[in-house]
Amino acid sequence: MTEIVMEAHRRKIPIDHPDRSITRDKLEYPTEDVTFAYLAVINKTEPVEARFSALIATVDVFTDKAVQNVVVGDAIMSVYGRYNGSEDSYYQQHAPVLSTNDHRLIKIVNGSETVLASESVDLDNKYGYLYKLSISGSTLKGYRSDMTTEKISATDTSFASGKWGVGTVYDTHHGSTGGFGAKLLAPSSSLTKPKIIVEAEIIGSGTEEDPYRPNLKQELCKHDKFSNIDKLSVTWGAFDHKPEHNTMLIYITGGNAYTGEKAIQEQIEHAKSKNLKVLKPPGDYKEAVEQYRMLKKDFPEWLAGKENYIYQCGFDIEPLAVADFYYGELIEHKTHYKQLKRVLDWEMRKTLSMWKERLKKVSTLVEERDKHLKKLEKVEKIGW
């Protein structure tokens, strides 16, 4: 308990003050660039329930973080973010059993699963891959092998905070992940510009085997190495899909290794044949704002604002989007206010300070930058 006494002394708390009862769980500790082994040593990890795996998770709740781990095997839920129980969470999935959709971002809400993004790739089930799940504000990013450029991304507003974890299963179907070698990191910032934005119908039943997902055109073929492949598979990510809507707006960022970008054109024609939206990515900020406002009329259930939409369109304005997230959640509509209240006070202040510094470095849209700085300052002043 020496460090507790030292903390009390540093703060010059009188010997008879109630805060002399500072406990270990109130003390600040490193929460970025640390391994789960380190967190375990300081008693900041715990085992929790998760789908198909024994999850090692952080004891404390965070908002914007990234978690990185190595995964190998046939199908495994590799890393979890904003975990709020086995029935409510985001996770990054490594699944070589699928056909040219082996890397996905998935959310579980009340036990129902929805695919939020999918990389058009066929992975070797005997090879180990490095994965990273990064979440900032309402944006999720999935990295594979290359930890600087994301492979898939999506916008979602189901969870504002939660625990972070890694799976530790080993069996004939799932392979192994070195749970304590995983790292807890600061969120990453890159985002790929989409080639086209399309609307897609929803299929699936919400189960683990049949999650909700966009109904994209397929061309399944036999393959010597990967069993089945899909020659029309594309890499895509969703924008704030809600279960009450029977279509999903997705950003397509790439084709596949077999037919290239021909697959993208096939998906465009597929959407047009069903009289669904097909939009070119906006050319500038003003056009992106107008496009968002037009779409909001058809998707009134969206919680993500125009900055989120513009960021997902490939414009480098992440700090603006995140500032809107905190202002909306803590001051404006407070949809997930209780979730954010669970974050440790010192951690929340550190996170807001990080985004203020990133926001100050924005060199374009100066008027918008200053407006969003004031939003974060107001959040800090009012508190939570």
E strand or H helix at 69, and its extent?
A: strand 65-71
Domain-located, residue 218: yes
Question: What is the DSSP secondary-structure string of 92-125?
Answer: EEE-TTSSS--EEEEEEETTEEEEEEEE-----T
Reported as a pLDDT band with limits 50, 70 and 90, residue 5 is very low
How far is it, in rounded angstroms, from Cα 132 to Cα 78?
9
- In the block, residue with structure tokens 């930058």: 369
DSSP secondary structure letter of residue 162 = B
Domain-located, residue 99: yes
Q: Encode pLDDT of 241-272 as tens digits.
A: 998 899 999 999 999 999 999 999 999 999 99
List the single range of 106-115, 167-176, 293-302 with lowest mean pLDDT: 167-176
Domain-located, residue 186: yes
Domain-located, residue 9: no
Q: How many domains does the chain have?
A: 1
Q: Encode pLDDT of 191-235 as tens digits.
A: 999 999 999 999 999 998 999 999 999 999 998 888 889 999 999
Domain-located, residue 13: no
Q: Encode pLDDT of 69-126 as tens digits.
A: 988 777 566 799 999 998 999 999 998 888 899 999 999 999 999 999 999 999 988 8
The neighbouring-strand residues paired with 166 are 56, 79
How far is it, in rounded angstroms, from Cα 222 to Cα 369?
51
Asked if residue 7 has pLDDT above 70, the reply is no
Domain-located, residue 12: no
CATH of the domain at 111: 2.60.120.560
Residue among 304, 329, 328, 333 nearest 139 (CA) = 304
Domain-located, residue 123: yes
Domain-located, residue 10: no
- Name the residue range of residue 77's domain: 24-382
Q: Where are the alpha helices (DSSP H) in the chain?
A: 2-10, 36-41, 262-273, 285-298, 306-312, 318-327, 337-341, 345-360, 366-382
Asked if residue 3 has pLDDT above 90, the reply is no
Amino acid at 116: L
How far from each other are the two terminal CA atoms of the chain, in whole angstroms? 29
- Residue 122 and residue 106 in contact, taking contact as beta carbons nearer than 8 Å: no
